[in-house]
Amino acid sequence: MSSSFKTFLKHTAKDFHNQSVNPPVVRASTIIFKSLQDIRKTQAKAKKNPIGGHYDYGRQGTSTTYILQKILTKLEESYHVFTTPTGFGSVFLSIISVVRPGDEIIISDPVYSPTRVLTEKFLKEFNISTVFYNPHDLNSISQNITKKTKLIYVENPGSNTFEFQDLRKIISIAKKNRILTAIDNTWATPYYFKPIKFGFDMSIVSATKYYSGHSDVMGGSLAVNKKVFNKVKIAEKMIGLRLGPDDAYLITRGLRTLDVRLDRHSENTKKVAEFLSKFKKIKLLYPYKKNSFNYKMWKKYYSGASGLMGLIIKSKNKNSVRKFVNSLKLFGHGYSWGGFESLALHQETVETGKRKYGNLGKDEHLVRLHIGLEDSSDLISDIKQALKHLK
């Protein structure tokens, strides 16, 4: 990018033809041409430049979706970005593009629960096997590599439990063994970390979260390098995973303020973390403790931290933990995160998935907080009154 991240987001994709600050929503199933010759010319252009936005059918996209892809490609500093109807659609596309029956996947244990089900159960029926590695012992990756290993899949930090890993070591292992890599980068977004530039082959972001920022749209992005582009392009075409123009418009609009919102999320979360760190019954799952391994790994690779954190609460009374969560007045209770509002969930096994490593100890309870854009002092006051219910 010639300009800074912040400036680029404010000035990109203006439509001077229609005199509009934001690009128009173009909805089309049929892409219409003046003649058969024009169709053939467009198809020839698409063959010569497959990332150029030359479409002959609506499933491939419209100018609205193409504009979003161009913006995200610059933000990611990648070869190309594919967009999907949901964040999980991008997870599926990344994996199904590069693995085939008989292949093996090595995946981080604290991965998003649906990703775990996809790899551990669904793909197993297609003779694709999965091994989960210990995020605290990356030698467990090397120990599980075989001639059949095709992909190392990382989620960083870990879903719900926020383990930060040594990403350079993972890339080194993968390159040494000529294995492809993918990372779910939803927590950080390319604002705080750019996986493709760092060396990953694929980078997933749930656009439902911070890209949108307003809890009213679903979508996903899959950034790729040139090495895997053709594989993903073929899979995307065969499966038909494509984001619609209305959702693309809303995500593009949300991106205008991505930096402003993330800065505020981060600022608020640091203040909340500082407050919660004073309570002995609570272990914070957030990169705030400077002598911790998680902090060192976060600081080594990331330029900032977003608004999602975990709490491990020590209590013999599970109901009091639930009461703590239910007593929060400024925190909504619902799935997803990344919007302007604060959210709280008491995490059960159904949210985290049954893991091989890092399960909770006796009388430990996991709570996930998304710190929104409200006044931080109000959020802290709300948490303070709710903590009185913990026993």
Q: How many CA atoms lie within 13 A of 112 on its CB side?
A: 22
Establish whether the linkage from the previous residue to 110 is cis, with ω within 30° of 0. no
What domains sit in the chain, N to C, each tagged with a CATH number?
Answer: 5-255 (3.40.640.10), 259-387 (3.90.1150.10)
Tens of pLDDT, residue by residue over 35-49, are 999 999 999 999 999
Torsion of CA 145, 193, 275, 387, to 10 degrees: -60
CA nearest neighbour of 214 among 259, 171, 271, 261: 261
Q: Which two tokens stand for residue 12?
A: 């990109």
What is the pLDDT at residue 2? 55
Tell me which of 359 and 289 has the higher pLDDT.
289
Tens of pLDDT, residue by residue over 88-126, are 999 999 999 999 999 999 999 999 999 999 999 999 999
Q: What is the DSSP string of 173-214?
A: HHHHTT-EEEEE-TTTHHHH--HHHHT-SEEEEETTTTTT-S
Tens of pLDDT, residue by residue over 230-252, are 999 999 999 999 999 999 999 99
Contacts of 328 by beta carbon, 8 Å cutoff, 6+ apart: 344, 382, 383, 386
Tens of pLDDT, residue by residue over 54-96, are 999 889 999 999 999 999 999 999 999 999 999 999 999 999 9
Pairing of strands 180-184, 149-155: parallel
Average pLDDT, the chain: 94
What are the residue ranges of helices labelled H in 225-359?
A: 226-239, 245-255, 258-276, 293-301, 318-326, 349-352
**Cα–Cα distance between 171 and 203 in angstroms, integer?**
13
Tens of pLDDT, residue by residue over 168-204, are 999 999 999 999 999 999 999 999 999 999 999 999 9
Residue 5 in this model has a pLDDT that exceeds 90: no
Tens of pLDDT, residue by residue over 372-381, are 999 999 999 9
What is the pLDDT at residue 354? 84
